[in-house]
Chains A and B, each alone.
Chain A
């Protein structure tokens, strides 16, 4: 079955540690996105990538980094510079129909203690 897989579903880290969230898609989509969702808030865009080896900052990129070495993969690293990293992180991808067919993974809940 085609889809987007995020792993792990739950992640706990100590303050000051970097952590990498995985996102893999087998939909052959060119574009991939990372969003952050806090309780009672919508999705805020962290980074997005339109093609391999290219990505752009979203609205809240500070303290995060990404790479896009393969079309299928778009990992997100939450660095120690991110002041408030505890959140629900969502990865998405979209194909030829652009923003009208964005598919989401099931999310990773990151808790920093």
Chain B
């Protein structure tokens, strides 16, 4: 079983829709939860992160973490064609000397004009 599971999609929605992207994980030691956006043939860029459980909002993006269910989500409101990309969830547990970052497989998102 992978430590982080993410539905690969592809997911196609019309412009203006609310998008929900999700990941599940098995390692209860994870404390930091990140979402990255990756355009084709480019390196991922950090969108936002949360520490432990709870919600975090940044503009049209909201990240949610439910540690009891080992489930995280990213919501995109008023989706735009420019949001079309692959979205990767990532997680990390803090150790004494290293912080491995484990990624999901990514969900490919397409916003139709």
List the interface of chain A (C-beta within 8 A of B).
4, 6, 31, 33, 35, 40-45, 48, 50, 56, 58, 88, 90, 92, 94, 98-107, 109
Contact = CB atoms under 8 A, between A and B. Distances in A.
Interface in B60-113: 88, 90, 92, 94, 97-106
Contact of A98 (B6, B90, B92): B92
Contact of B103 (A35, A40, A56, A98): A35
A104 B43 contact: yes
6 contacts: A42-B4, A43-B88, A94-B101, A98-B92, A99-B32, A100-B32
Q: Name the interface size band of chain B.
A: 20 to 34
Contacts of A50: 97-98
Interface of B: 4, 6, 8, 32, 34, 41-46, 49, 51, 88, 90, 92, 94, 97-106
B98 A56 contact: yes
Contacts of B45: 104
Given A31-B99, A43-B103, 4 more contacts: A42-B103, A44-B103, A98-B99, A100-B46
Given A94-B99, A100-B32, A40 B105 contact: yes
